Amino acid sequence: MVASAGRGRTRRPATLASLAAELGISRTTVSNAYNRPDQLSPQLRERILEAARRMGYPGPDPVARSLRTRRAGAIGLIFTEGLSYAFRDPAAVAFLEGLGLACEESGTGLLMVPAAPGDTADPQLVFGAAVDGFVVYSMPAGDPHVTAVLERPVPSVVVDQPVGLSGVDFVGLDDRAAAAQVGRHLGELGHRRVGVVANRLGTDRNDGPADRDRQDRSPYAVVRSRLAGLADGLAEHGVDRAAIQVEERFDNTAEAGASAAVAMLDRDPLLTALVCTTDVFGLATLTVARQLGLWVPDELSVTGFDDVPEAAPAGLTTVRQPTLEKGRVAGQLLLDDRERPAARRVLLPTELMIRASTGVPRR
């Protein structure tokens, strides 16, 4: 049996030209129905869109349109963790919400490029990303993804880290000053035996104690600054930095924070305070204290950093940072296409939120 000539063939999708021919109008008029609707009467535009639905015309090719306009209509986010982290970590979620709000206000899309340490993703993907600019979120110094961003002829904004990039807008905090408030607060309460649960200090995994050399060489400026600031505040009350023990964890998860807190307390049962560089670690440390039967704050004071939504109900003393606003400001700076003479540097305010998890040591 010979199949009929048309059987088994898929229908070719309609094109802008075939739609224009069907309606007896110019291709420019069809294009205006999608790209410049204000140029057409509502009746004519609806007639075009109805014919497009009937004929299966999908609309103008976005790639071709971006080639004509030289704009992609989206910005790229270089993200310091795996993609799932962005929807799991409370601080990251708030930052993305703020960045998303800025994109919504300007009608711009968002392309995420995860770049976790040790990730096998090719930094060359940065060169192929169809975006009008990049937000670099909390990346280590010397990261190849950041190098690729800086080689693109598009604007970029760095959030938190790396610091000190010439000619690039920056949004972040004075992390050292914020952490110094924590050290000063603990020192005023009388704490002299203090340990730290710190997030990642290097791109290599090191789940264990971190000596002073590792702290000072860290490519992550944020945690390096927080450790230095804590030492500044405690030094005002006679605590030598060499006496401050640091336990590092590669992953900012509750499980990692709990294991670090247990390790610190096993190593030095006489610690009266544990300072955590994130609220995720701080909340996990509160759980560990309950499990070990330690009264907070009489037997152990605990602090965090970020002031995520769960911190206040848990009574966690922490540093509040405007994480949502950080994302919004980063997006607004990037999407601001006005001429400017120099790179902008925006430092957002922080506040020490003193709650029930810190007090005078009773040990």
Q: Where are the alpha helices (DSSP H) in the chain?
A: 16-23, 27-35, 42-55, 62-69, 90-106, 124-128, 144-151, 175-189, 212-217, 221-235, 254-267, 279-291, 311-314, 323-335
pLDDT of residue 67: 41
Domain ranges of the chain: 16-60, 74-173+324-347, 175-321
For the chain, the average pLDDT equals 89
Residue 63 CB neighbour total at 10 angstroms: 9
Q: What is the CATH number of domain 74-173+324-347?
A: 3.40.50.2300
Q: Residue 62: which pLDDT band, with cuts at 50, 70 and 90?
A: low
Locate tokens 């014919």: which residue? 51
Segment 109-117 shows an average pLDDT of 85
Q: Residue 359: which pLDDT band, with cuts at 50, 70 and 90?
A: very high
Q: What is the CATH number of domain 175-321?
A: 3.40.50.2300
Segment 93-98 shows an average pLDDT of 96
Distances 172 to 56, 89, 328, 359 between C-alpha atoms, Å: 48, 18, 12, 30
**pLDDT per residue as tens digits for the range 187-229:** 999 999 999 999 999 999 999 999 999 999 999 999 999 999 9
**pLDDT per residue as tens digits for the range 296-321:** 999 999 999 999 999 999 999 999 99
Locate tokens 């949004």: which residue? 171
**16-60: CATH class:** mainly alpha
Beta bridge partners of 195: 245, 274
Whether pLDDT at 97 is above 80: yes
Fold matches, 16-60 and 74-173+324-347: no
Task: Tell me how far apart the alpha carbons of residues 206 and 194 are, in angstroms, rounded to a whole number.
Answer: 21
pLDDT of residue 7: 42
Instruction: Look at residues 68, 181, 71, 79 and name the one whose alpha carbon lies nearest to residue 125.
Output: 79
pLDDT of residue 152: 85
Indicate yes or no: pTM above 0.85: no
pLDDT of residue 119: 59
